Chains A and B, each alone.
Chain A
Amino acid sequence: MLEYALLAGLLFGLYYSLVGLGLNLIFGVMRIVNLAHGDFLMLGAFAAFWLFNLFGTNPLVSVLAVLAVFALLGLPLYYLFVPRLLAAKDPEMLSIILFFGLSQVIEALTTIAFGTSERSIPGNVLGSGPVRFLGQSFPIAWVVSGMASGLAVLGVYLYLYRTRLGYLTRAVMVHREEAVATGIDVHRVSAIAFGVGLALAATAGVFAPFMLGSVTPAMGVDINITSFAVIVVGSLGNPLGSVLGGIVYGISLMFMQSYFSSWANLLPYLLLIGILLVRPSGLLGRQVRRA
Chain B
Amino acid sequence: MIRNLAFGVFVGSFVAITCAARAADAPAEIKLGTLYASSGNFASISMPVHYGLKLWAEAKNAEGGVFVKAFNKKIPVKLVEYDDQSNTATAATLYNQLITQDKVDILISDSGSVLTSVAVPIARDHKMLLIDQTGTGANFFTKDNPYIALMSDPVSSIWPKYVADFLTKDGPALGIKRIAILYSTNDFTGTQATAVRTFIKASGAPVEIVYDQGVPTNTTSYNVTINNIMAVNPDAVVELGYPNNDISFLRNLQDSGTKFKWLFAIYPGLETELLVKNVGAKGLEHVFSYVPSSAIEYKPELGMSLADFHAAWEKKYADAKVEFGFNSVAGYTTGLVLEAALGAAASLDQLELRKAIFGLSGKLKTLDGTFELDEMGAQIGEITPLGQLESDGKDGVKFVVVYPHDMATGRPVYPAK
Measured CB to CB, the residues of A under 8 A from B are 1, 4-5, 8, 12, 107-108, 111, 114-120, 122-124, 129-130, 136-142, 210-214, 216-218, 222, 253-254, 257-258, 261-265
User: Which size class do B's interface residues fall under?
Assistant: 35 or more
Measured CB to CB, the residues of B under 8 A from A are 37-41, 43-44, 46-47, 86, 185, 213-216, 218-225, 227-228, 231, 243-244, 247-249, 251-252, 254-257, 274, 277-280, 319-323
Residues of B near A137 (CB, < 8 A) are 256-257
CB distance from A8 to the nearest CB of B (A): 5
A124 to B257, CA, bound (A): 11
A203 to B163, CA, bound (A): 42
* B214:A214 contact, CB within 8 angstroms: no
Residues of A near B231 (CB, < 8 A) are 1
A108 to B40, CA, bound (A): 11
A215 to B113, CA, bound (A): 22
- Given A5-B224, A118-B243, A211-B221: A218 in contact with B39 (beta carbons within 8 A): yes
- Given A4-B224, A116-B38, A117-B44: A213 in contact with B252 (beta carbons within 8 A): yes
A114 to B39, CA, bound (A): 12
CB distance from A1 to the nearest CB of B (A): 6
Look across to chain A and name the residue whose beta carbon is closest to the beta carbon of B39. Answer: A218
* B216:A262 contact, CB within 8 angstroms: yes
From A116, A122, A139, A257, B225 is in contact (CB under 8 Å) with: A257
A210 to B248, CA, bound (A): 9
A254 to B220, CA, bound (A): 12
- Given A117-B323, A218-B40, A257-B225: A123 in contact with B254 (beta carbons within 8 A): yes
CB distance from B354 to the nearest CB of A (A): 32
* B244:A118 contact, CB within 8 angstroms: yes
Residues of B near A120 (CB, < 8 A) are 247, 251, 277-279
Closest 7 CB pairs between A and B? A115-B321, A213-B248, A139-B255, A116-B43, A265-B216, A123-B255, A212-B220
CB distance from B277 to the nearest CB of A (A): 8
* A139:B252 contact, CB within 8 angstroms: yes
Q: Given A115-B319, A122-B280, A262-B185, 10 more contacts at CB 8 Å?
A: A8-B227, A12-B221, A108-B39, A111-B38, A118-B244, A130-B257, A212-B220, A218-B41, A261-B213, A262-B213
CB distance from B182 to the nearest CB of A (A): 9
From B227, B249, B321, A116 is in contact (CB under 8 Å) with: B321
CB distance from B135 to the nearest CB of A (A): 19
* B247:A213 contact, CB within 8 angstroms: yes
* B223:A139 contact, CB within 8 angstroms: yes
Residues of A near B47 (CB, < 8 A) are 115-116
Look across to chain A and name the residue whose beta carbon is closest to the beta carbon of B85. Answer: A218
Residues of A near B38 (CB, < 8 A) are 111, 116
A219 to B331, CA, bound (A): 25
Look across to chain A and name the residue whose beta carbon is closest to the beta carbon of B216. Answer: A265
A212 to B249, CA, bound (A): 10
* A117:B274 contact, CB within 8 angstroms: yes
* A213:B280 contact, CB within 8 angstroms: no
Look across to chain A and name the residue whose beta carbon is closest to the beta carbon of B254. Answer: A123
* B215:A262 contact, CB within 8 angstroms: yes
CB distance from A139 to the nearest CB of B (A): 3
Residues of A near B277 (CB, < 8 A) are 117, 119-120
CB distance from B115 to the nearest CB of A (A): 14
A111 to B322, CA, bound (A): 11
Can you report 10 residue pairs joining A to B where beta carbons are below 8 Å apart? A4-B224, A107-B39, A116-B46, A118-B274, A118-B278, A142-B255, A214-B247, A216-B43, A257-B219, A265-B219
- Given A117-B44, A142-B223: A1 in contact with B248 (beta carbons within 8 A): no
* B251:A213 contact, CB within 8 angstroms: yes
A65 to B264, CA, bound (A): 39
Look across to chain A and name the residue whose beta carbon is closest to the beta carbon of B46. Answer: A116
Residues of B near A5 (CB, < 8 A) are 224
A218 to B47, CA, bound (A): 14
Residues of B near A138 (CB, < 8 A) are 223, 256
Look across to chain B and name the residue whose beta carbon is closest to the beta carbon of A108. Answer: B39
Look across to chain A and name the residue whose beta carbon is closest to the beta carbon of B255. Answer: A139
From B218, B220, B224, B254, A258 is in contact (CB under 8 Å) with: B224
Most buried by A among B216, B222, B224, B248: B224
A12 to B223, CA, bound (A): 11
From A119, A210, A217, A261, B278 is in contact (CB under 8 Å) with: A119
* B255:A214 contact, CB within 8 angstroms: no
Look across to chain B and name the residue whose beta carbon is closest to the beta carbon of A130. Answer: B257
From B222, B255, B321, A117 is in contact (CB under 8 Å) with: B321
A222 to B39, CA, bound (A): 13
Residues of B near A8 (CB, < 8 A) are 223-224, 227
Residues of A near B279 (CB, < 8 A) are 120
Residues of B near A129 (CB, < 8 A) are 257
Residues of A near B320 (CB, < 8 A) are 115
CB distance from B167 to the nearest CB of A (A): 22
From B214, B244, B323, A213 is in contact (CB under 8 Å) with: B244
* A261:B44 contact, CB within 8 angstroms: no
Most buried by B among A136, A138, A142, A218: A218
A258 to B257, CA, bound (A): 20
CB distance from B281 to the nearest CB of A (A): 11
- Given A137-B256, A139-B255: A116 in contact with B322 (beta carbons within 8 A): yes
A214 to B280, CA, bound (A): 13
- Given A120-B278, A122-B280, A218-B41: A213 in contact with B218 (beta carbons within 8 A): no
* B244:A214 contact, CB within 8 angstroms: yes
A207 to B40, CA, bound (A): 21
CB distance from B316 to the nearest CB of A (A): 14
Residues of B near A264 (CB, < 8 A) are 215-216, 219
A212 to B221, CA, bound (A): 6
Residues of A near B215 (CB, < 8 A) are 257, 261-262, 264
- Given A1-B231, A211-B221, A262-B214: A130 in contact with B40 (beta carbons within 8 A): no
- Given A116-B322, A118-B247: A213 in contact with B256 (beta carbons within 8 A): no
